[in-house]
Amino acid sequence: MDILLALKTNAVSVVMTVLVMLLLWKIRGKQSSFGRLPPGPPPNPLLGNLFQFNIKEPYKYYLEVSKKYGSVVTIWLANTPVVIISGFGALKETMIGLGEEFSGRSNYPLIMKATLGYGVVSTSGHRWKEMRKFSLMTLKNFGMGRRSIEERVREEAEYLVEMIKKFEGSAFSPADMLSNTVANVICSIVFGHRFEFEDPQFKFLLQTVNAYFSIINSPLGQIYNVFPKLVSLFPGKHHQLFKDLEEAREYYKREAQARMNNVDPSCPQDFIEAFVLKMKEEKDKPDTEYNFDNLVSSVWNLFSAGTETTSSTVRQSLLLMMKHPDVQERVQREIDEVVGQDRWPSTEDRQRLPYTDAVIHEVQRSMDLTPIAVPHKTMCDTKYNGYVIPKGTVVFPLLSSVLIDPKLWKNPNCFDPENFLDEDGRFKKNDAFVVFGMGKRVCLGEALARTELFLFFTSLLQHFTFKAMVPPEELDTTPANCSFGRMPRSYECYAIPRM
């Protein structure tokens, strides 16, 4: 019996050894088939480098391997190679200098689940170019970067201030109010109207956005993006999210269908109407990109990204003002001197509010909202820095590496508005401020986001002093979720009226 047991044990060991060797051979074969990829840490069988780092904060691992292997590194997520590009010089050469080659969007499963491969965010090539061009043109037509959008933002800022006043200095959580406020700006462009905060449909759409970003920024989301078919077999909150995403898509489609026969060709009132008119214009073109799939996904892109990123940044800005009451006081003093209390701030005030402008930029830089941006892919076999990166390779532009580079910032590792001020206290631009991305895939809503951040922040600090429920030194300002994006912590605070 002992001999038989030993033979069985040896047989199992031999089989396992052979399997491991086959897996290693398969990975090495796949590595060699991917051209002359940049160097990187050796992958493990099946999992690659996946569990060599804290999945809650993968960007920190990307920074570490970039320091060790250089500005262009290859890691493996399971059997998929990912090229990480770090440092301002390398990112500028690739995202801008080789912008067309690196302009693709990788098949990120959770993003694809929400868009089905349509719209702006998840597409590449002709479809992406067409949808981005149309979206940019339409956003500009509806006021992005102009005074008309400023008026919409100011209207929402007034609603927000009035809501906060109702708390009369008692503790409250600003998260939902900020999401509602920011969402209504983009709703006025996409749907042609704002929603009441208690509107059931509005609440559902916002809940879906919040659930989506909660999962995509969680370890569950990271595992799903590597093993989507496997994770789909297990129970979890992602299944409810997928149902909600489909329901949200149906709502957007109904909104579009309702406009099909009720749109004035000479004067579209919102993004959906403008898209519907384009659909009618190209209805006889068999290869047109103007269809319900691209419309629905474009609306989701604008609504979700336009809500979450800006509201999270404003939420983080208030948290940092409570952490640094001296900074908050200096901002308020500058607003009082330039704007006063008799009118609302305007974008024309920005140049006369250099310290305030520096604070807003520093909130964005120190927050580092999207450490790797949305993953890219190469559109063709691409030579760079002596390596050959094959067509279709996933690429992570490591924006964090630029935002914390000591060669580019005075004090990169702490919150310090001096990073954006010169010796005379004037606002100083910095090309390394890459929070909106770089190159052809730079955020298409950048102009709108800049307007919102400035007007919401200045309006809030004009009317309130924000105080934490604990001493400033006890406040934790590090993000709670860091897997895909660095989302701010939930908190309650006091808003003490200043008027």
User: 86: helix, coil or strand?
Assistant: strand
Query: Residues 394, 419: contact at Cβ < 8 Å?
Result: no
Residue type, 437: G
Rounded to two decimals, what is the model's pTM? 0.91
Q: Which residue has the higher pLDDT, 45 or 188?
A: 188
pLDDT digits (tens, 9 = 90+) for 426-436: 999 999 999 99
CATH of domain 34-497: 1.10.630.10
pLDDT at 143 over 80: no
Q: Which two tokens stand for residue 376?
A: 């890219």
Show me where the domains of the chain are located: 34-497
What percent of the chain has pLDDT above 70?
92
pLDDT for the residue numbered 354? 98
pLDDT at 245: 96
In b/e form, how buried is each residue of 221-249, taking b as 16+ CB within 10 angstroms? bbbbbbbbeebeeeeeebeebbebbeebb
pLDDT > 90: percent of the chain? 81
Q: How many Å apart are CA 106 and CA 124, to the nearest integer?
A: 8
pLDDT at 24 over 60: no
- Per the CB < 8 A criterion, the answer to whether 158 and 344 are in contact is yes
Measured distance CA(441)–CA(341) in Å, rounded = 40
189-241 pLDDT tens trace = 999 999 999 999 999 999 999 999 999 988 899 899 989 999 999 999 999 99
Contact predicate 439/96, CB 8 Å: yes
**Taking 60 as the threshold, does the pLDDT of residue 452 lie above it?**
yes
Spell 37-46 as b/e; 16+ CB within 10 A means b: bbebbebbee
Which tops the pLDDT comparison, 444 or 55?
Answer: 444
443 appears as a binding residue in the annotation = yes
Question: Does the pLDDT at position 248 exceed 50?
Answer: yes
pLDDT band per the 50, 70, 90 thresholds, residue 25? very low
Is residue 356 predicted with pLDDT exceeding 60? yes
pLDDT of residue 147: 62
Average per-residue pLDDT for the chain: 90
pLDDT band (50, 70, 90) for residue 142: confident
Contact 478, 444 (CB under 8 A): no
| Whether the predicted pLDDT of 478 surpasses 60 | yes
